[in-house]
Amino acid sequence: MTRTMNVRGEGSAKRKLTTFDVVAMKSRGEKIVAITAYDALFASLVDAAGADLILVGDSLASVLCGEETTLSATMEQMTYHGRIVARGASRALVVVDMPFLSYQVSIEEAVRNAGNILKHTGAGAVKLEGGSEVLDTVEAIVGAGIPVVGHLGFTPQAVHALGGPRIQGMDEDAAMFLEDDAVALEEVGAFAIVLELIPTSLARRVTEVVSVPTIGIGAGPDCDGQVLVLHDMLGLNEGFSPRFLKRYAELGRATREAVADYAQEVRAGSYPTEEHGYEPAGDGG
């Protein structure tokens, strides 16, 4: 069977967004629409629908591979999925997560890994987790000409150290520490910062104190943008239902129903019908 699929989406003539475009959206008061996706087909769909930023998250370890945490994600996985997402995105800025231990071991290794992600995927930036402990690393990566998105609050790669996916920055000392980290990340060159699972009031404070965009997930409405995992918002990942998640569709249920209908028709012999078959062409005689 021959199948042709256009993964470039309907917006292939649109100009590709850059990190400068994303930063400028904050100054214009425009909300940034970010979505996490993992393949070319879904990337083309969200790109055509108007997403500004597509994050290739190390959450693929959980969402696609069934792992309990993101820790098993590898450079090979992130590079592969980053490459195929970039193929499907004609307008959105593609950002790829740096996986666990790809930037924590040494600054030199972090720069090399970040460079390889951009070199082999066609993405426009990388994202890494942490605050004061990664400032020198972020500065070095940015210094190598590689745009960086920071990530504060609940950082999934530190899930065990944090005692699970808990809200961060609840007391004033922790809030001030996180705010200082956000300012420091901007100072060393991060062009945007993801804020995950922090109080709305703290997200508002951070958003006001930094000039780069904040992108929230479980951080309330006052961030400069929002990000959700596509599989979560479409209802495909039915076992994941945190308070911050809004499901915009129920495709998990729709998929089960569709496959059940297909199975029933196959077993009953009602699919395929003659209209779904092929006959060899005659010899013209």
| Nearest-angstrom CA–CA distance, 248 and 232 | 9
Number of residues in the chain: 285
Closest C-alpha to 97, from 144, 156, 140, 29 = 156
- Copy the structure tokens of residue 230: 């596509």
What is the C-alpha separation between 246 and 234, in angstroms, rounded? 9
* Measured CA distances, 97 to 81, 129, 276 (Å): 10, 9, 43
What tokens were used for 9?
A: 């989406």
From the list 30, 196, 208, 279, the catalytic residue is 196
In sequence order, the β-bridge partners of residue 95 are: 55, 125
What the block records as the tokens of 213 is: 């965009």
Distances (CA, A) of 279 to 2, 67, 145: 16, 46, 58
The C-alpha atoms of residue 94 and residue 86 are separated, in whole angstroms, by 6
Angle separating helix axes 200-209 and 172-187, nearest 10 degrees: 30
Which residue, among 225, 285, 190, 186, has the nearest Cα to 31 in the 3D structure? 225
Angstrom CA distances, 78 to 57, 119, 128, 269, stand at: 8, 13, 13, 43
Is residue 265 annotated as part of the catalytic site, yes or no?
A: no
| Token digits of residue 142 | 């940015």
List the catalytic residues. Answer: 196
